[in-house]
Amino acid sequence: MTLLLAGDIGGTKTILRLVEFSETLGLKTLYEESFRSGDFPDLVPIVQRFLTTANSSTPEKACFAIAGPVVENTAKLTNLAWFLDTNRLTQELGILSISLINDFAAVGYGIFGLTKQDLLTLQVGKYQPAAPMAVIGAGTGLGQGFLIKQDHQYQVFPSEGGHADFAPRNELEFQLLKYLVDKHDIQRVSVERVVSGLGITSIYQFLRDRNIATESPEIAQAVRTWEQEAQTTEKTVDPGAFIGAAALQKSDRLSEQTMQLFIEAYGAEAGNLALKLLPYGGLYIAGGIAPKILPLMQNGSFLLNFTQKGRMGSLLEEIPVHIILNQQVGLIGAALSASRL
């Protein structure tokens, strides 16, 4: 048995999990705890408190998934004044081997720790065991990554594909692009500005400002509050959650149209990623949004726009497409990544 420490490190929350690993039995969770990241000056005191509370000896290996790019074993968190370096962490924590990985790389590793109950299949496709795999996930931002098989083992690679250009495909999407350029006074619009939690709110504002449908008082208040708090670090409301719930309940026409446009853009971008990789090993949809709006993801719009690629559409119809339901896939992946160190 090997004692491992896995972590999911974000600007708001840090989750740590102590795990036992064996080649025959896999992962066994011993203890888990969540911390407010902003209450600590660095990751080290969080780990020290965690291990003390868990009454644990020092783990042999650790892997921390970071919400942001990892460059030469270092990471600077976007919304937190932490600078993490594996050499320093190794020395201060006494753990022999530590790695930092991008949070979407962790999702990639985590796929191999999921069960059938952790997945919902949108498209069975024609699975090819040696083919690449892809991961895409809308949440706070839009994460993307891919996996390639090397020597009987998959290697996981993160990407910053969510920051590629948003590619409108019809008149309404062209209008959305111009709206975002003008509203934010920017030169280009990344696909993350449309396919993300922020994107849901942006689409809603676009349709609202064009008087596509009448606002409901409850959602109007949520969006107004969010707009007033736009320049603050602490947000008290998530309008995307209100909009998604109203669309599911079919209680608000503007929200329904917002989510329709969001899902069409989401499917199209997933199809773009699939065209570049041809992931016949499977395309996995991660992130916090898809599991909350499953009926909308299953109504056909996502797959229609996923496969609507002209002459290449028949290729995409053969790619297995799955939604990851287990929101702890990143922690599972960090643990599996630690086991490889």
State pLDDT tens for residues 225-278.
988 887 776 778 889 999 999 999 999 999 999 999 999 999 999 999 999 999
- CB-based contact 294:323 (threshold 8 Å): yes
> CA-CA distances (angstroms) from residue 143 to 68, 116, 160?
10, 23, 7
Give pTM, 2 decimals.
Answer: 0.91
Please name the fold of domain 2-114+326-339.
Nucleotidyltransferase; domain 5 (3.30.420)
Pick the CATH number of 162-324 from 3.30.1220.10, 3.40.367.20, 3.40.50.360, 3.40.50.2300: 3.40.367.20
Residue 65 phi, psi (nearest 5): -90, 125
Which of 219, 264, 221, 263 lies closest to 245 in space, CA to CA? 219
Rounded Cα–Cα distance for residues 104 and 338 (Å): 15
DSSP 8-state symbol, 153? E
- Residues in the annotated binding site: 7-12
Task: Please state, for a pLDDT cut of 90, what percent of the chain lies above it.
Answer: 77
Q: Where along the chain do its domains lie?
A: 2-114+326-339, 162-324
Say what angle helices 43-53 and 86-93 make with each other, to 10 degrees: 40
Tell me the sheet residues that pair with 283: 134, 321
Torsion sign, CA atoms 262, 232, 71, 20: negative
Q: Tens of pLDDT along 10-62?
A: 878 899 999 998 887 888 999 999 999 889 999 999 999 999 999 988 999 99
Binding-site sequence positions for ATP: 7-12
Torsion of CA 34, 38, 40, 42, to 10 degrees: 100
- Residues 274/312, Cβ–Cβ less than 8 Å: no
